[in-house]
Amino acid sequence: MNKHSSLEAKRHSLSHLLAAAVLELWPDAKPTLGPPVDNGFYYDFEFSQAITESDLAKIQTKMQEIMPNWDTFTGFELTPQEAKAEFKNNEYKHELIDGIAEAGEKVTVYQSGKFRDLCRGGHVAQMKEIEPDSWKLDRLAGAYWRGDEKNKMLTRIYGLAFATKKELDNYLVQQAEVKKRDHRKLGRQLGLFTFSELVGSGLPLYTPKGALIRRLLNDYVEELQSKAGYTQVWTPQMARAELFKISGHYDKYHDSMFRVISNYSQEEMFLKPMNCPQHTQIYAGEHRSYRDLPLRFSDFAMLYRDEKPGELSGLARVRAFSQDDCHIFCREDQVDEEIDQVLAMTKEVMKTFGFSYRYRLSTHDPEHPEKYIGDPATWDKLEKWAERIIKRNKIDYFDGPGEAAFYGPKMDLMATDALGREWQLSTVQIDFFLPERFKLTYIDSTGAEKRPVMIHRAILGSPERFLMILIEHLAGAFPLWLSPVQVKILPVGEAHHKFCRELAKEFKTAGLRSEVDEANETIGNKIRKAVAEKVPYIIVAGEKEIASGLLAVRARGQKDIKQVKRQEFIDNLLTEIKERR
């Protein structure tokens, strides 16, 4: 058994132990499902009375009491009727038993100690394999039965579990840092965005500072795209249902699309969840020749997806967002060069933001062909093609079976942040199927009609989601070029306000963003506020500083104040901005 499967078995075994402890403390509780997850395990229960976070210690103590009395897990095969009789008062288990029987699978129960649970297996050989201090209960959460908000809300108890105590301790330290860097907390602290119940959940509102960062991110991507021959287009926020029916999005994503009905024609329309179907229509708007290709359409228009309320989380999962989206229409012999250019552009962007990364080769799941459009032979061709491109570019990658888009395989960039977490950012996809569905053509050198290849590409992905990742990656300390306020000017007293205002005007003329803090507070308080705002540079101005003719500058992360000539300071900052350091 490899390390991963061994750890999964430990986590699975601990979920059984959790259910056993809960039933000893609350005999009328109804256990439902308890799988292992990436950092541990959980179990969902229906309680007749609510439990609180304070009960976790009691449950963990009970688990520790039971654990020495458990040795191994023994499996028993039962008929569906026998299994239902064993779990006679648990309608959740009955539903699971019916599902197992309908699938033609065996119904099995596993026992350790006195506890028996409906289970397919996958446990440790002996409970003593589990290091006692390598796990702990973590938190409570609400969870709908089977993840469906139409079902009853259950209580989910989460536990953490790792191979060793050291790994658990390291994870807890990392989680404390994650909490400190939470983009929702820092977003409020830095005044970047807000949410309003009147506007609606999952619909972020960006302040001037947040909107500036968002625009600067888009401008950076657009600068790179323009150099590479991309042209920006703009498409409507909605489209007829027919467009999405032809593309296949209607069948695949109907439940997560916002439906709009015209008051006059009663025509069914949708707020667009992605740009690609509309981009096909820009291509189709003119007759195309092989000489016209490649065509590279970039688009920063807003997109909308009706995410489930329970899945919304700050900027990580929203209902309104944009993408630094691009669709390249090209000949088949141009695909390699176009993708090489995309990969090089992405490499430059990742270097700018300091992310290490690898790629996931996201392929289709042949066991579920209903999830995809197109024929198996073309899928095989595209997946082998994508793999050759990755290998030719000497890119570190891993396989992601089942992670493909419904219309083609993906090369997904997985960036690692300062906390060691992986995030999907850039994506590149080779698509033969949408051009076929929309009957897109170009005239080749012989005068024959041919289908173009469509390459889907994003670099940052969603700037909104990227802002979230960046906030947590940098702990809110944006590089100078992205900082909404680059210099905070702090007058010691009211007599120094005029000098500071004139200095701010000079900075603005030079192209620097600055603010003057004229609050009636001590200079110590002003400095503490500026530090909390994570401003890159602070300038203190009092009688002594003004008389010196030099700027008293404190750089972010440093306590020492340095005396710098005014023009030298401006020149240094402009260089730092230009180089995006």
Active site residue 126: no
CA dist., res. 6 & res. 164, Å (int):
12
Q: Which of 54, 116, 440 is nearest to 285 (CA)?
A: 440
DSSP for 385-429? HHHHHHHHTT--EEEEET-SBTTB-EEEEEEE-TTS-EEEEEEEE
Q: Hey, what amino acid is at 143?
A: A
Q: Return all residues near 41 (Cβ < 8 A) that are at least 6 apart.
A: 11, 12, 14, 15, 18, 34, 35, 158, 159, 161
User: Which two three-digit tokens encode residue 440?
Assistant: 């897109």
Contact 19, 34 (CB under 8 A): yes
What is the distance between the alpha carbons of residues 440 and 442, in angstroms, rounded to a whole number? 7
Active-site pick, 10, 55, 249, 276: 276
* Residues in Cβ contact with 243 at an 8 Å cutoff, skipping those fewer than 6 apart: 277, 278, 281
**List 323, 324, 364, 500, catalytic entry:** 323
Buried b (16+ CB within 10 A) or exposed e, 489-498: bbbbeeebee
CA distance 269 to 280: 18
On whether the CB atoms of residues 430 and 463 are closer than 8 A, the answer is no
**Does the active-site annotation cover 451?**
no
Confirm if 144 and 152 have CB atoms less than 8 A apart.
yes
**Radius of gyration of the CA atoms of the chain, in A:** 29
| Residues whose CB is less than 8 angstroms from the CB of residue 301 and which lie 6 or more positions away in sequence, other chains included | 234, 235, 237, 272, 275, 322
Retrieve residue 227's tokens. Answer: 């150099």
Query: Exposed, middle or buried: residue 455 (CB in 10 Å: 0-12, 13-18, 19+)?
Result: buried
Give the length of the chain: 581
Helix pair 376-392, 335-353: axis angle to 10 deg: 50
Catalytic option among 10, 30, 62, 305? 305
Tell me how far apart the alpha carbons of residues 207 and 65 are, in angstroms, rounded to a whole number. 53
Q: From 23, 21, 26, 120, select the one nearest 73 (Cα to Cα).
A: 120
- The catalytic position among 12, 279, 327, 360 is 327
What stretch of H or E contains 29?
Answer: none
Q: Which of 410, 457, 465, 488 is catalytic?
A: 410
Task: Answer yes or no: 323 catalytic.
Answer: yes
For residue 429, indicate whether it is catalytic: no
Which listed residue (55, 324, 325, 517) is catalytic? 325
Q: Where are the alpha helices (DSSP H) in 181-267?
A: 183-189, 208-227, 241-247, 249-253
**Strand, coil or helix: what is 119?**
coil
For the sheet containing 107-112, what is the strand order?
A: 74-78, 107-112, 115-118
Q: What's the N-to-C CA distance of the chain in angstroms? A: 46
Q: List the structure tokens of 449.
A: 């009609």
473 tagged catalytic = no
Phi, psi of 363 (to 5 degrees): -110, 170
Q: Is 249 a catalytic residue?
A: no
Burial of 352 (0-12, 13-18, 19+ CB in 10 A): middle
Q: Is 364 a catalytic residue?
A: no
Tell me which residues are annotated as active site: 276, 305, 323, 325, 327, 410, 456
